[in-house]
Amino acid sequence: MPFSDYKTALVTGASSGIGAAVVERLCREGLQVHALARSADKLAELAARTGCIPQAIDVSDLEGITRLTQEVQFDVLVNSAGVDRPGSILKADAAGIDLLLDVNLRAILHLCRLVLPGMVARDRGHVVNISSIAGAYNFGGNSTYHATKAAVSMLSRQLRIDVFGKRVRVTEICPGRVATDIFAHVHGDSKETYERFVEGFELPQAEDIANAIAFAIAAPIAVNVGHMEITPTLQVPGGLSTARPGQAQA
């Protein structure tokens, strides 16, 4: 099993949600896991619970992530960090666009640039990019989020070409709605947010996504699980809307 071939992992967005669940799962597999996020307090709690190595670095801190990747050779990279600022491009502001580009796309590009050459040189490694069904399907608002996630989806396929001929695998995980605290981060930590997005729904848990990632990593080295779309059974993406002239809402 490839887990036995890998020694180190870097997980971004590790302080909560899917990222924290991935850290816990990979630690149980015996990897030395570096958990990267901004919140030093939450990382300290995670380290006490799992034995991971906390890295209190903002994923958009290019100097910080460069220094870390120069100090440690990573066999597994899980790009889990992500942010959202809901709204159509008609209501977007410059700060929100820059934030999503920095965290959702630019950081992933830089981490792949920094980590992949070592994987190629060692002829082993696995990159897992957590994108979203928003990278493939359109729904109301979140224009910048859709754009960044679609870019990560294309990047994930392109990486396979970049590392062709080497035993470096790339997996894109595309979650739908998952019961995590991302909704509180985006819409406010309130009873209304919980009722709107979580309460009463049958949703995958963060641990379910972590287990899917572990499945992809544990596959035989000859097997690359390239793309996994994980949604609630009772959720479907897509839809069709038609407006009469004058009725369309911005």
Domain boundaries, the chain: 2-230
Region 80-89 average pLDDT: 91
Q: Please enumerate in sequence order all residues whose Cβ is within 8 A of that of 118, keeping only pairs 6 or more positions apart, or say none.
A: 73, 74, 125
Which residue of the set 6, 137, 145, 194 is catalytic?
145
Region 185-201 average pLDDT: 69
pLDDT of residue 107: 98
Q: Quick check: 123 pLDDT over 70?
A: yes
Matching CATH number, 2-230, of 3.40.50.150, 3.40.50.720, 3.40.50.2300, 3.90.550.10? 3.40.50.720
pLDDT of residue 87: 85
pLDDT: is 87 or 184 the higher one? 87
Residue 218 to residue 27: CA distance in whole angstroms = 14
Q: Quick check: 249 pLDDT over 80?
A: no
pLDDT of residue 128: 98
Average pLDDT, the chain: 92
Flag the least confident range among 144-158, 189-203, 217-231.
189-203
pTM of the predicted model as reported, rounded to 2 decimal places:
0.92
Using only C-alpha atoms, what is the Rg of the chain? 18
Region 59-83 average pLDDT: 97
Residue 166 to residue 120: CA distance in whole angstroms = 6
Sheet holding 227-230, edge to edge: 53-56, 32-37, 8-12, 76-79, 125-130, 168-175, 227-230
Flag the least confident range among 56-60, 63-67, 136-140.
136-140
pLDDT of residue 25: 98
Region 173-182 average pLDDT: 87
pLDDT: is 192 or 230 the higher one? 230
Among residues 52, 48, 45, 44, the alpha carbon closest in space to that of 25 is found at 52
pLDDT of residue 182: 67
Contact 121, 176 (CB under 8 A): no
Q: 107-122 and 62-71 helices cross at what angle (nearest 10)?
A: 10
pLDDT of residue 117: 98
Q: Is 6 a catalytic residue?
A: no
Region 133-137 average pLDDT: 94
Region 233-240 average pLDDT: 84
Among residues 81, 91, 159, the alpha carbon closest in space to that of 119 is found at 159
**Residue 146: pLDDT band by 50, 70, 90 thresholds?**
very high
